[in-house]
Structure 1
Amino acid sequence: MSVWDDLVGQEPVAEQLRAAVGTDGKMAHAWLFTGPPGAGRSAAARAFAAALQCTEEPRGCGHCPSCHQVLQGTHADLEVVRPAGLSYGVKETRALVLRASSAPSGGRWQIVLFEDAERATEGAANALLKAIEEPPPRTVWLLCTPSPDDLLVTIRSRCRLVTLRTPPVSAVAEVLALRDGVDPETAATVARAAQGHISRARRLAADPDARRRRAEVLAIPRRLTGVGPAVAAAEALVKAAEADAKEMTEELNETETGALRQALGESAKGRMPRGTAGALKDLEARQKSRATRVTRDSIDRALLDLASYYRDVLTLQLGAGTELVNTDLAAELRTAASQGTPEATLRRLDAIMDCRERLGANVNPLLAVEALTLALRTS
C-alpha cells in the first residue's frame, strides 16, 4: 500500500504529484493544494510530503520509516501547521518561517504543511510571501486552501497549483467498506449524505450522535410552521453546534492545559510559580478562539446538510433524474417539491448560502441562523 492510496477519487492529482517527486532539484518549492471541503487537500499534501521524504523506490512506498513518520506526523523535518483559531497571526508566521529556514536534520527536505492557510492575516500572508519568494534550497512549502482566491495573488503566482475535486460517492463508499469495515449499505448511505466529504462520511458511519444531529437538521423544513417555531429551530441548531464543538474540544483543552501547567512547574498541591499566569491566559484565549471556529464549522456543516434537502427538492421539481442525497426522505421530498416552485427553492438555497457568508464575516451565529429560518419560512 503506497501513500497515494489515501487520495480517494483523485487519480489525476496522484499522477501529478508522483511525477513531481522524481524531479528533485528542479521541483517547485511552494505548492498550493485547493479543493472543496472534504476533497482531501491535507491528505494529498501529507502524501506528497511522505513521498518527498521517502527513502525507497518508487518514492512514496508507504512502508519505510520516513513514510510512516510523515503520515503519523512525527517526522523531524515535517512541520504541520493547523490554525487553532479563526486566524493565524504575523508573530506565529515569522516564527514558522524561521523554523522552516533550517536545513533538514535527517530527511531529504524541510517541509512545512500549512493547513487552512486562508486563515493567515494580511500581515502573516506578507511574511509568508517573503519566505516563499526566496526559500532555502531544501525547504518545501505545502499550502492548503479551499480556493486559490483565498490567498494573495502574489503568493498564488509563486506556487504550483494542485486542484482536487469532490470525490465520487462511489469512491467514498468503497473506502469506507474496504478500509473501515463499514457495511456496504451504510457506507453508501453516509457517503451520499456527506456529499463526498470523506472525514464527514467516516464520522456519520461511526457516530450515532452525528447521524441524529443531521436528522434533526433535515427536520427543520417541516418545523417552519410559524415565526415562533422558526426561531426555536434556529436556536436548536446553534445549541447543537455548540454542544458538538464542546464535545470535540473539551478533552483536548484539558490535555493542553495539564501539559502546560506541568511544563511551567505546577506543584503537587496544584500551585503555579509566579510569572506563569500570562502563559496560561494565552492558552485559554487560543482555546476560546478554537472553540468559536469549531462551533462555526459545525454550523456550516449543518447548513450544507440543509442545503442538500433543498437540492433534492429542486432536483425533483426540475425532473433532473439525478440521485437524491437524502433517499430516506424521498416521500417527504416529493411532497415538498409538488407544493412549491423551483424559483422558491432557489431562493431558499440562496438564503442558506447568504447565511454561510454572514458566518464567515463573524456575524453572531444565532442572529444569522434566525434570519435564515425566517427566510426559509417566507420564501
Structure 2
Amino acid sequence: MSVFGDLVGQERAVAVLQKAAAAAADALAGGRGAGMTHAWLFTGPPGSGRSNAARAFAASLLCPDQGCGHCDFCHQVDIGSHPDLTWVRPEGLSYSAKQTRDLVLKGAGAPTLGRWRIVLFEDADRATEAAANALLKAIEEPPPRTVWLLCAPSPDDMITTIRSRCWVVTLRTPATEAVAHVLMTKDDVPADTATFAARAAQGHIGRARRLALDPEVRRRRDDVLSIPKSLTGVGECITAAERLVKTSTEDADAATAALNEVETAELRKVYGEGSSGKGLNKGLVRGGAGALKELESMQKSRATRIKRDSLDIALLDLVAFYRDVLAVQFGAAVELANEDRRHDIETLARNSSPADTLRRTDAIMLCRERLAANVNPQIAVEAMTLALRSPGSAVL
C-alpha cells in the first residue's frame, strides 16, 4: 500500500502531493520538475493528520518508487531513522532561535543518499518570532536539494513572509464513517465502539484511537462531560475546577515520568556518571551538571505543555457538549458528537436558551485564551465553571 494510504479522507491533498512527488522525481532525472517546490506548509484542524501527511510526502520524495510503502526507505521514514530526514517535534511551549539555527545548519547539508535533504518541522507555529525569522532566511535561500515541510493548524499561525514562500496543503476533518472504518480495519475495534469513538473525537484520528482502546481515556471524558450538570452551587464550581486541573496534572505526570527517567539516565551515562577507571575524564563528569540542568529545564517545559494540552482537550470536549446543546435547541439535523449524552443534552436544551448556551461556550473559549496567555490554570478554570453555573451568571 502507498505511504498515502493512511491519510483518511484527504483525497484532494493526496492528489497534490502525489503530483509533486512525480515532479520531484522528474527534477532528479534532469527535467523541469514543474509542480515541486522547496517549502511546504501543511495546515488543518487538530487530528486531521498534518504530520502524517508531511511524513508520507517525505517518504514519497525519498523513495525511488515515490512512496511505495514497503521498501527500506519508506520504513526508515516511518520510524524517523532515514539519514536524509530531520524530524523536529518541539518538546516545550516554544521553539527558540538557537534551536532553529541548529536546525538550519542540519538542513544545509547535501543529501547522503543523493535524493533530497528533508526537514519535517511539526508544530512550526511554536517557533518564537526570532526563530521564525531564522527559519525565513533558510527558506528564502535553500540549498538545491533541501525541502522544508512545516506543520501548523492554520496558515495564519505562520508569519506572512514564511507563508508566502510555501506551497500550502490544507487538510480537512475526516468524516465519522472514515475514522470508524480505520479503527475497525486497523485496530480491530468493534463497530459500535469505533463509531462512538470517531463521533466523540470529531474526526481527530489519534483521539478516536485512544478513546476506542483505552478505558481510562473514556473515563476521563465521562468525568469532563459530567461537569455541566454538577455545577449546582459555588462550592461545586470550585470543586469541579480543582478536579479538572488536578486530572490534567496527573495526565502530564504519567506521560512524562517514564520518559524523563530514561532521558536522565542516558545523559548521566553519556557524561560518565557512575563510571570509574584511570581513563575517566573527571572534567567530563563535572561538565554533565550543566547538560543535566538544561535537560531538566526542557522536561519541565514539556510537562507544562502536556498539562496545558490535556486541559485543552477537556475544554474542547465541553465546547462540543454545548455545541450539541445548541444544535438541539435549534432543531438542527446534525450528528451529535456526544450522542451517548443525549439525555443530559436535551435536558439542558429545554432548561436554557440558545443565548445561554452561546454565553457558556464563550466562557470556555475565554478560558482557553487565558490559559494560552499563562494565566494560573486554577483561577482560569474556576472563572469558567462559575460562568457555566447558571443562565444569569456573567462571564468573568
Q: Do the structures match in fold with TM over 0.5?
A: yes
TM-aligned CA deviation for residue 350 of structure 1 = 1.1
Query: Which residue does 1:287 correspond to in 2?
Result: 299
Matching residue's letter, 1:42:
S
Determine the C-alpha separation between the residues in 2 that align with 1:12 and 1:280: 46
TM-aligned CA deviation for residue 120 of structure 1 = 0.4
137-146 or 322-331, which deviates more:
322-331
Query: Which residue does 2:58 correspond to in 1?
Result: 49
Does residue 29 in structure 1 map to residue 38 in structure 2?
Answer: yes
Query: Which residue does 1:173 correspond to in 2?
Result: 180
Structure 2 counterparts to residues 106-255 of structure 1, below 5 A: 106-255=113-262
TM-aligned CA deviation for residue 107 of structure 1 = 4.8
Determine the C-alpha separation between the residues in 2 that align with 1:76 and 1:320: 52
3-state SS in 2 of match to 1:144? strand
Determine the C-alpha separation between the residues in 2 that align with 1:184 and 1:74: 35
Question: How has the CA–CA distance of structure 1 residues 355 and 107 changed in structure 2, closer, same or farther, with 3 Å as cutoff?
Answer: farther
Determine the C-alpha separation between the residues in 2 that align with 1:87 and 1:256: 20
Does residue 333 in structure 1 map to residue 340 in structure 2?
Answer: no
Determine the C-alpha separation between the residues in 1 that align with 2:69 and 2:329: 48
3-state SS in 1 of match to 2:286? coil
Matching residue's letter, 1:126:
N
Determine the C-alpha separation between the residues in 2 that align with 1:165 and 1:3: 18
Query: Which residue does 1:40 correspond to in 2?
Result: 49
Determine the C-alpha separation between the residues in 2 that align with 1:80 and 1:245: 23
- TM-score under structure 2 length normalisation: 0.93
Structure 2 counterparts to residues 60-71 of structure 1, below 5 A: 60-71=67-78
Determine the C-alpha separation between the residues in 1 that align with 2:9 and 2:258: 33
Determine the C-alpha separation between the residues in 2 that align with 1:233 and 1:209: 19
Matching residue's letter, 2:86:
E
Aligned mate of 2:376, from 364, 368, 376: 364
Matching residue's letter, 1:235:
E
Matching residue's letter, 2:304:
T
Does the CA-based 8 Å contact 1:77-1:107 persist in structure 2? no
TM-aligned CA deviation for residue 275 of structure 1 = 2.1
Determine the C-alpha separation between the residues in 2 that align with 1:360 and 1:160: 28
Query: Which residue does 2:106 correspond to in 1?
Result: 99
Determine the C-alpha separation between the residues in 2 that align with 1:252 and 1:55: 35
Does residue 80 in structure 1 map to residue 87 in structure 2?
Answer: yes
TM-aligned CA deviation for residue 268 of structure 1 = 4.6
3-state SS in 2 of match to 1:276? helix
Matching residue's letter, 2:152:
T
Determine the C-alpha separation between the residues in 1 that align with 2:164 and 2:207: 32
Query: Which residue does 1:11 correspond to in 2?
Result: 11
TM-aligned CA deviation for residue 66 of structure 1 = 0.7
3-state SS in 2 of match to 1:76? coil
Query: Which residue does 1:354 correspond to in 2?
Result: 366
Runs of 4+ in 1 over 4 A off after TM superposition: none
Q: Any gaps of 5 or more consecutive residues in structure 1?
A: none
Q: Any gaps of 5 or more consecutive residues in structure 2?
A: 28-32, 277-281, 392-396
TM-aligned CA deviation for residue 331 of structure 1 = 1.4
150-159 or 24-33, which deviates more:
24-33
3-state SS in 2 of match to 1:113? strand
Measured against aligned partners, the alpha-carbon deviations of 1:233-287 in whole angstroms (never above 9, x if no partner) come to 0110011011111111111111111111111111159x98212111000000000
Measured against aligned partners, the alpha-carbon deviations of 1:323-378 in whole angstroms (never above 9, x if no partner) come to 21111111121111100001110111111111111111111111111111011113
Question: How has the CA–CA distance of structure 1 residues 305 and 107 changed in structure 2, closer, same or farther, with 3 Å as cutoff?
Answer: farther
Determine the C-alpha separation between the residues in 1 that align with 2:89 and 2:384: 30
Query: Which residue does 1:323 correspond to in 2?
Result: 335
Does residue 297 in structure 1 map to residue 309 in structure 2?
Answer: yes
Query: Which residue does 2:30 correspond to in 1?
Result: none
Measured against aligned partners, the alpha-carbon deviations of 1:144-194 in whole angstroms (never above 9, x if no partner) come to 000111111000000000000111111110000001111111000011111
Matching residue's letter, 1:28:
T
Calculate the aligned-residue CA RMSD, in Å: 1.2
Does residue 306 in structure 1 map to residue 318 in structure 2?
Answer: yes
Aligned length: 376
